[in-house]
Amino acid sequence: MDTVVVVVWLSMVVTILSRSHADRNVYPSAGVLFVHVLEREHFKGEFPPYPKPGDSSNDPITFNTNLMGYPDRPGWLRYIQRTSHSDGVLYGSPTAEHVGKATIIEITAYNRRTFETARHNLVINIMSTEEYPLPYQAEFFIKNMNVEEMLASEVLGDFLGAVKNVWQPERLNAINITSALDRGGRVPLPINNLKEGVYVMVGADVQFSSCLREVENPHNQLRCSQEMEPVISCDKKFRAQFDIDWCKINLVDITKVVMIHSNRPDPGTGVLPDIGEYNPPSESLKSRDFFADFLITLAVPSAVAMVLFTILGYSMCCRREGVDKRNMQTPDIQLVHHSSIQKSTKELRSMSKNREISWPLSTLPVFSQSGEVVPPIHPDNYETTSMPLMQTQINLQNQIQIPQQQPSGDRDNYCMSTFRRLEVNGIPEERKVAEALNL
């Protein structure tokens, strides 16, 4: 039992000692690409051993990097780690203004399975170089590479070898590497092993070769504008491993750029000069009277509205001709003609109200003592459009005219009375007719 306790205590001591190690110093050169790999194997010893020895190699570890005392890294330094099971990479290109300044980067490793953390410090001492800056710089866009693949020393060495074979310089350095995503590129679809692409800038001490200048001729520029691949004689020296987009190559001559911008004034520090302590305005300021502004704001639109209203009212009310003036200017014959038309119209309307309509005989009573036409019981607004205007013979086949006795007592004078012929079970009721004739 004591042996187990001693072993556990020793393991804790080893862990504590491993965490309290010295800072790691690196010495990159200004104007030259700096690459520092954060190896997962190096940080595995910082975490306590896992109960299963075989699983310790598969611990997911991620890294957080920041400038000491600040939440982020310097502007020239980038960091990338594709997955928690791959190594992290710090890369960038320091400039001359960082020379002589020690940059301390805090590296915090997170074990995503045990939730343990470990911290290292990376001290970056930027050194000056006589070769900085190289006067001729060319930036290539490689379509079939990701940034972490290009940062590998053997891949970057192969690319610099191909560039040196085409350019033939005495000194050739990789200046910077930038992911296409940092330049506004889109994340590629996860099909056919598509890559996001990477920009690689290299510098040399001699003029650009004729092969690199071929992209500037008008024929290739026209093909690039039509989204066609230009014809480059030295492309076959890269095509075996690197797919370069020659339309995006950028050739920069530093000597010409410096001559163009030599007349510009030196940039300032970006800090405003000290002009003393800020004195806010006192509280005894007089309040401003906005009454005059209020009146002006309302008076001008109101005056314009009144003028427009007056003009409109005069045009609509005071400029009317009137009926009398119109009649005076109209010829007499035209007025008489109009008056006659109006009078005829009124007469026709009054006649249409008083006209009588012949009602169907079915609406009249069966017997009538006087023989006079009985006025209809329908109102004046009764719909009569469906009534026949004339009684046809077919409509009168069931009707019989009979003489009717006059009230004066003269039996020789009869008036005909019409009634509907009745039937009972299909047999005409002739008795009703006989009784009517004997009256």
Question: 69 in helix, strand or coil?
Answer: coil
Phi and psi dihedrals of 256, rounded to 5?
-70, -35
CB within 8 Å of 406: residues ≥ 6 apart? 413, 414, 415
* DSSP string over 236-250: HHHHTT--B-GGG-E
Alpha-carbon distance of 395 to 253, in angstroms, equals 116
Structure confidence by residue, pLDDT tens digits, 46-96:
777 666 655 556 788 899 999 998 888 988 999 999 888 888 999 998 888
409 pLDDT higher than 90: no
Q: Are 193 and 139 in contact (CB under 8 A)?
A: no
Structure confidence by residue, pLDDT tens digits, 5-20:
333 333 333 222 334 3
The boundaries of every CATH 2.60.40.10 domain in the chain are 7-125
Tokens of 257: 């750029």
Alpha-carbon distance of 163 to 234, in angstroms, equals 10
Round to the nearest angstrom and report the end-to-end CA distance of the chain.
150
Tokens of 149: 């693949």
Confidence band of 258 (pLDDT split at 50, 70, 90): low
CATH architecture of the domain covering 7-125: Sandwich (2.60)
Q: Are 61 and 84 in contact (CB under 8 A)?
A: yes
Q: For the whole prediction, is pTM greater than 0.75?
A: no
